[in-house]
A and B are shown apart, each in its own frame.
Chain A
Amino acid sequence: MAAVVHSRPLPRSFFFFGRRIRPRWPAPQYLFLIPLAFFSVLPIVYVISTAFKPLEELLLFPPPFFVRRPTLDNFQDLLLATNALAVPFSRYLFNSVFVTLSTVLLQVMFCSMCAYPLSKARGLPGSNIIFAMVIAALMFAPQVTRIPQYLVVQKLGMIDTYWALIVPALAYSLGLFMMKQFMDNSIDIALIEAARIDGASEWTIFWRVVMPNVAPAWNTLLIFGFIAHWNDSFSPLVFTRSEAMKTVSVAMISLTNGPASVARLGAQSAAAFLMSAPTILVFLLRQAKVIQTLAHSGIKG
């Protein structure tokens, strides 16, 4: 396994002052990609820049794109507003971190565990029907299933508990579909057979052979899950009642809510900035893993 991800040299190489120069072809892509990438982050830049704008710049129209005299006023306003909250802000933070992390980790486990037989146990009775149902579930407008889902959560007595925030989210059809697709093409069945002949249990095969080989997939799933649940304000608003069960995303709404005024825009942007910071961090950490993984695991001998 010498070959790493394909940053291939051009077949031609030349000598320059006695050193062998091998030009790599990706270079020109940057010329094309960097302007587009810049264009793509502009709205984020706008949100961040608005978060640091003083009041008089917020009142300007048309709104200037970049902040001219950055201030922390908006963040201070936000901080002051937290004093008026019913429970200390740390409680919201704890709820968010706890709910998001447990949801995301369990989601990845549930989806991967279910995807493994669907992908690799050939001829498993019922597997085609299950897979078709999962795809079908992806296509049913979630707006309509919300009320029935609420009724189910209520019947199970989960309202106003952490269960209500975590358990319904574990039925993540997209995650199962994705894990199954990755297992289809990135694990050689021979690798699994070999492990089985060596006496490995199915769990060992799943945990030691399958999961390392689909690491790019579940790292991507972690990113999707984290972004979705960190920002989700719908479930806490609907499934919980007491203030002590709400999450940061809900707190941010109540902090920035109020009479729609231009001044609020600053606080809203500050809140958006603070909310997206952990997401961006998680994205960078996991995405780096997505890209590294292949080089590490000796895949497909």
Chain B
Amino acid sequence: MATRPEVFVPAAQATVERRSALSLFWKRWGVYYLFMTPFLAVFTVFIIAPVLVAIYLSFTYFNVLEPPRWIGWSNYKLLFLEDDVFLIAVANTLKFAIITGPVGFFLSFFFAWLINPLKLKTVLALCFYAPSIVGAIAMSVVWKIVFSGDRYGYLNYYLLKIGAINEPYQFLAEQATIMPVIMFVSLWMGMGTGFLVFLAGLQTVNTDLYEAGKMDGISNPFQEVFYITLPMMKPQLLFGSVMAVVAGFSVFEVATALAGLPSPLYAGHTIVSHLYDYAFIRFEMGYAATVAVILFLWTFGLGRILMRLFSSKNEY
């Protein structure tokens, strides 16, 4: 140190200060960053990077075989100005999401809440979760038999028997019924993620609060739900609602399994059907990525609204 010119001393001091600020920072937060490192590493490599690549692809023409070719905004222009099928897909998806999202969310909570105090809850939970275990495609085999268009479809068979209709109705081929059938089957299958999470969430509500509530004059189970359970479960409700939005806007498997791809007159065509069509049938990855980006922007916007609605910053 003695050989060093004096000029360096203040600089050296500055580094010492900066280093101590850094080490203070590290002392305070470092361990938390270490906790997050494993997840963030895989998340960056296997999620963030592919998403960024997909966003880049949305500005290109990419048929998987040749390298992507930059074409600027043309995919977006094409999507909004010329693609009529996309508009049908948007209308169908919106109809689906607006109805099944809130209804599915409410039903999952309602059933979880109803099952929670019961002795047989594990078995009942299995029964209600069963459709999710078996999966959409296996499930739709059964539903196809129910809604089959000939007189052997269970629904047609019984409707004919009671005389409600005179000839078999094409539930999965008529424009008017395709979407309602898809909604019905999805709702019925929808006791998925949200339901189990709510059931787990109900276990974490502090039971002392119920006692306290009773002393404060809560007399029936509905008051209890509104004043204790729901406010205490805000974080789980946020999770459930975000998942309901994601599920609502990404409806695809059930729709395709029931109505086919493309469905008659595109009556069961959804945004993700459209995306799948371009990605894996026409091999226009760039265009498919454009659809994905638009879908993403909508769901993310809705997600922000939900976050505000269920914000739980002031708890504890």
Contacts and interface: CB of A to CB of B under 8 A. Distances in A.
Interface stretch (A15-23, A71-79, A80-88, A213-221): A213-221
A13 B65 CA distance: 76
Given A6-B117, A290-B203, A44 B134 contact: yes
Interface in B151-197: 152-154, 157, 188, 191, 193, 196-197
A174 B50 contact: no
A113 to B, nearest CB: 5
Contacts of B196: 220, 223-224, 287
B49 A148 contact: yes
B146 to A, nearest CB: 9
Interface in B220-266: 221, 232-236, 238-239, 242-243, 245-246, 249-250
B90 interface: no
Contacts of A7: 117-119
A141 B295 contact: yes
Interface in A133-170: 133-141, 143-149, 151-153, 156, 167-168, 170
B160 to A, nearest CB: 12
Given A178-B239, A206-B35, A294 B132 contact: no
Contacts of A288: 122
B276 A182 contact: no
Contact of A145 (B51, B206, B236): B51
Contact of A294 (B115, B199, B207, B245): B207
Contacts of A118: 36
A114 B207 contact: no
* Of B42, B221, B276, most A-chain CB atoms within 10 Å: B42
A113 B48 CA distance: 19
A121 B34 CA distance: 13
Nearest to B200: A216
Contacts of A190: 316
A294 B203 contact: yes
Given A43-B139, A291-B121, A214 B134 contact: no
B208 A140 contact: no
Contacts of A114: 35-36, 38-40
Interface residues of B, number: 102
Contacts of A116: 32, 35
Contact of A138 (B139, B208, B242, B280): B242
Interface stretch (A32-40, A92-100, A240-248): A32-40
Interface in B1-39: 29, 31-33, 35-36, 38-39
A181 interface: yes
Given A220-B200, A276-B134, A30 B118 contact: yes
Contact of A186 (B124, B129, B143, B204): B204
A184 B315 contact: yes
Contacts of B300: 135-136, 139
A115 to B, nearest CB: 8
A111 interface: yes
Interface in A266-301: 272, 276, 279-280, 283-284, 287-288, 290-291, 293-294, 299-300
B98 interface: no
B196 to A, nearest CB: 5
Contacts, number: 277
Contact of B64 (A121, A133, A134, A147): A147
Interface in A177-226: 177-178, 180-182, 184-186, 188-190, 202, 206, 213-214, 216-217, 219-220, 223-224
B127 to A, nearest CB: 4
B48 A176 contact: no
A166 to B, nearest CB: 10
14 contacts: A3-B208, A3-B211, A43-B134, A43-B139, A61-B152, A140-B54, A141-B272, A145-B50, A148-B49, A148-B54, A152-B46, A184-B312, A214-B204, A220-B196
Given A26-B117, A113-B39, 8 more contacts: A7-B119, A25-B221, A113-B35, A113-B38, A130-B40, A139-B245, A139-B246, A171-B39
List 9 tightest A-B contacts by C-beta distance, closest first.
A148-B50, A114-B39, A117-B32, A37-B127, A186-B204, A181-B235, A148-B53, A62-B152, A216-B200
Interface of B: 29, 31-33, 35-36, 38-40, 42-43, 45-51, 53-54, 57, 64, 111, 114-122, 124-135, 138-139, 142-143, 145, 148, 152-154, 157, 188, 191, 193, 196-197, 199-201, 203-204, 206-208, 210-211, 221, 232-236, 238-239, 242-243, 245-246, 249-250, 272, 275-276, 279-280, 285, 288-289, 291-292, 295-296, 299-300, 303, 307, 312, 315-316
